[in-house]
Amino acid sequence: MAVHRLVRWVQNFEHLSRPARIAALVTVHILIFIAAYVGAFFFRFDFAIPAEVYGPMWQALGLAVAVKLVVFSALKMFQGWWRYVSLYDVISLAHALAISAILFMGIHALVLRPEMFPRSIYLLDFTLSLVFLAGTRGSLRLVRETLSAHQGDHRLKNLLIVGAGDPGDLLVREISRADKLRYRPVAFLDDDLKKRGLRFHGIPVEGPLSRLGEVVEEYQIEELIIALPAGRKRQLRRVVELANDWGIHPRILPAVETVLDGDVSLRQVREVSITDLLGREPVELDIEALGRFLEDRVVMVTGAGGSIGSELCRQIIRFGPRRLVMVDCAETPLFSIHRELKSHHKQRISPRIADVSDGTRMEQIFDEQSPEVVLHAAAYKHVPLMEANPAEAVKNNIGGTRIIADLSDANEVDAFVLISTDKAVNPTSVMGATKRITELYIQRLARRSRNTRYCAVRFGNVLGSNGSVVPIFRQQIREGGPVTVTHPEMTRYFMTIPEAVQLVLQAAAFNTEDDLFILDMGSPVRIADLARDMIHLSGRSEDEIPIVFTGVRPGEKLYEELSLNEEAIDKTSHEKIFVGRRLSDGAPDFETRFDALLRAARLGDDHRVRRLLGVIIPEYAIPDHDDGDDGIIDFGARRAAR
């Protein structure tokens, strides 16, 4: 009964008006100041204060309290002090009390001129005031947290925290001061031998991750939060597998080093994603160079509504461009990214509906906006669709790139950046061949342009992009399976969309004449393993969600490459960005073949388009079912030569 009354008192106090709350806090402070001041005399005289000291003691009491009240009020020490105490709060208290002691000593000596007032009282009063105030605040925090836990005991879930480092420590602190507790941390797990048997915030470290099952049973664990430092991919995978075996769906707290200013919040706890299991390291950027490249400039992004294009816009806007021009032919995605950015940023944003292969419309936009930096992300990317529609792939990917790149030179744009792909290396698909040709075209422009710096940035797959394997797998799992994979040995390079975009911008900001940059994609990932990981992350097993192998589709490779044999790879100042140096920039008759290819695409001649792609890109393997004469070269002789 007394507990419930105390709970109601705390709740009523929280709902008091601000003036009433401050008045109550000031009253409590006055009582503590008086107790500390009188206590200082008792300690000084061993609890036997001489009669001749009583007069000076009571005479200075009002001054001591008044000085402290003025100082505490000036330093805003009466605001929110009862909620929780930390080392910072104790330091602030010591600072305020030190100022009060100095002022009290000075005013006391000048105004009252005491004769029977021991100088040690000033120090004792400071010490006792600090002890009483810090103790009271700490006690109130403890009482408040205990009462909150007691009040909602039936709602709290036993929580296991994996990782007894800084992220775990900050997580417990956040839970302890949350207004509405939902968790009761009962144990840590950590592989660090030095931490075994220790307690953090009264919570035991129960040993290595291998004990997860025992701890789940012993403590009746209902929730598990992973709070491991960045780069612990192997440990993270083990935790997910063990947790799934025990029927617990784990969640994760981003590592402190990936959270701005180390500000950890329960709102940041989320489901474990496939990105976490891939374990990509955070990207370190040269912010100063990016600022020089983007700040106060007119930046145009084509394909702005797509996965890469929209993330480019999000990243670019952070660097304060004078204007961001977003171009896309898809109305809804462009509307979405425009609405998202304009609600959070004050910079001028200009969305423009346009097809990059429409030369007249793009010329109008260049004249109207006068871009200084162009990032060309617009492209058709889906391999099977482009195999079925090669003429459209050429019109958009090659024709659109030619229009944007030529307009950039004609309008004296400072920098043009082409977003390329690893599928351009030894291409086996129409999509890859078109991107390889755009790289060659950009390289040739880079050689002859006097106005614009041209470069291409080549990288592999990005996780979670529209229509990519991850969202497809996620949907298949949601529907109960099966998860379809083309081949057991199919591998791909993966990186997150933000990481890819950050590295693209960093490469584009390099003040060099290099025209091809290749991003470090890490180690290739087997698609079948990716599917298994996603099934396990969903809390299911392969018995429930089977994996079915459907066969390699037209144009697909079992594995991707990031560089050609003829390309020499050099390092740059950034460890994750390399320069690809080609020995040649295409055949001498490249321009003639290039123009013929675009004419065939405009005519919708898919057969001739495929033949010309094979002429321009000798590495491109023309499908055997597409035999015929394109009117330019004897392909029977060409195949025999192979």
Active site positions, annotated: 423
Show the tokens assigned to 293. Answer: 């490249």
Q: How far apart are CA 561 and CA 43, in angstroms?
A: 79
Q: Can you state the percent helix, strand and coil of the chain, rounding each to 5?
A: 50, 15, 35
What are phi and psi for residue 42, nearest 5 degrees? Answer: -60, -45
Q: How far apart are CA 483 and CA 498, in angstroms?
A: 26
Amino acid making up residue 500? A
Neighbours of 532 (CB within 10 A): 17
Of 209, 270, 220, residue with least CA distance to 242: 209
Question: What is the three-state SS of 103-139?
Answer: HHHHHHHHHHCCCCCCCHHHHHHHHHHHHHHHHHHHH
Sheet with 568-571: strands ordered across? 348-353, 323-328, 298-302, 373-376, 415-421, 453-459, 516-519, 577-581, 568-571
Cis peptide before 482 (omega within 30 of 0): yes
Show the tokens assigned to 598. Answer: 């675009």
How far is residue 569 CA from its own chain's centroid?
Answer: 29
Amino acid making up residue 75? L
Amino acid making up residue 503? L
Question: What is the three-state SS of 509-546?
Answer: CCCCCCCEEEECCCCCEEHHHHHHHHHHHCCCCCCCCC
Beta-carbon contacts of 451 under 8 Å, excluding residues fewer than 6 positions away, are: 409, 412, 413
Which residues on neighbouring strands pair with residue 420, listed in sequence order?
458
Query: What is the maximum alpha-carbon separation in the chain?
Result: 121
Q: How far apart are CA 120 and CA 41, in angstroms?
A: 9
In the numeric block, the tokens 């229009």 are attached to 403
Show the tokens assigned to 106. Answer: 């000075």
DSSP assignment letter at 395? I
Burial of 359 (0-12, 13-18, 19+ CB in 10 A): middle
Q: How far apart are CA 146 and CA 5, in angstroms?
A: 14
Question: What is the three-state SS of 64-114?
Answer: HHHHHHHHHHHCCCCCCCCCCCCHHHHHHHHHHHHHHHHHHHHHHHHHHCC
Q: How far apart are CA 594 and CA 391, in angstroms?
A: 13
Q: How far apart are CA 575 and CA 578, in angstroms?
A: 8
Q: How far apart are CA 94 and CA 86, in angstroms?
A: 13
Amino acid making up residue 565? N
* Residue 212 and residue 244 in contact, taking contact as beta carbons nearer than 8 Å: no
Q: How far apart are CA 277 and CA 232, in angstroms?
A: 9
